[in-house]
Amino acid sequence: MKTPPQPFVQTGKTKPAIRICVIDDHPIVHDGLRYLASNTPDIEFCGGALSGRELENLLRTVTPDILLFDVHLGADNSFALCRRIKDKYPEIQILMVSASGDAHLLQRSIRAGATGYALKSVSMAEFPNAIRQLHEKGTYFSPDLSEHVLVGLGRSGKAHAEISQREAVIIRLIGQGLTNNEIAREIAVSVHTVKFHVSHLLQQYQFRRRSELVKLSDSIR
């Protein structure tokens, strides 16, 4: 008697879903993200908060991989709240979401501990890729953002020159083999600022890996 064929069982481990939470004072945003996650197998919506107090209560019960953070919260100071959450839960990646690519808002977000900044013009179809990139690479900045940032910084030639000079220093230090943490200590900025500049440089030169920036180090000595 023949043994009936056995069902195929996949032995390889599947990656756990990326757990996301959101703080936004518009409930419709929560509904949109909940719907997006329900149709995206590798993303799990774990809860939302309308205020800072609600967020702190939520994080006592669940720890997401990524927290989507509205840059303009009604009654709360977004940046102070972001810094407080990042200090308490350093393992959570924070993705600031804003309708504006204003350089000042971006810089304040980075100083507050955000490692990603998404413009609300990003389509729902592209949003899962933003979440995946932040989760896998540790940073995400909307592709359209670099233009907005340069325009904002370009209003002051001094600020624009300072940013360009800082990125040149970062490239040289990468060429010397320093890590992001070591570079941050060397030039006296936060590691989040270093990550932002590295991400911007990768987009500007269309590189995929940080190690490729070493190619530029000889040309700027």
Look at 122 and 61; give whichever has higher pLDDT. 61
Domain ranges of the chain: 18-144, 156-216
- Estimate to the nearest angstrom the gap between the alpha carbon of 199 and the chain centroid: 10
Rounded to two decimals, the pTM is 0.66
* CATH 2.40.37.10, applies to 18-144: no
pLDDT in tens, 15-32: 899 999 999 989 999 999
Angle between the 180-187 and 157-175 helix axes, to the nearest 10 degrees? 130
**Chosen CATH of 156-216 out of 1.10.10.10, 3.30.1120.130, 3.90.1150.10, 1.10.8.50:** 1.10.10.10
> ∠ at Cα 80 (75, 86), nearest 5°?
125
Mean pLDDT for the chain? 80
- For residue 220, the model assigns a pLDDT of 58
Angstrom distance (rounded) from CA 177 to CA 31: 45
- Whether the predicted pLDDT of 123 surpasses 90: no
- For residue 139, the model assigns a pLDDT of 81
- The strands making up 43-49's β-sheet, listed across from edge to edge, are 43-49, 18-23, 66-70, 93-98, 116-119, 140-141
Average pLDDT of span 81-106:
87
Place of tokens 């719907």: 35
Confidence of residue 177 (pLDDT cuts 50, 70, 90): confident
Angstrom distance (rounded) from CA 175 to CA 189: 18
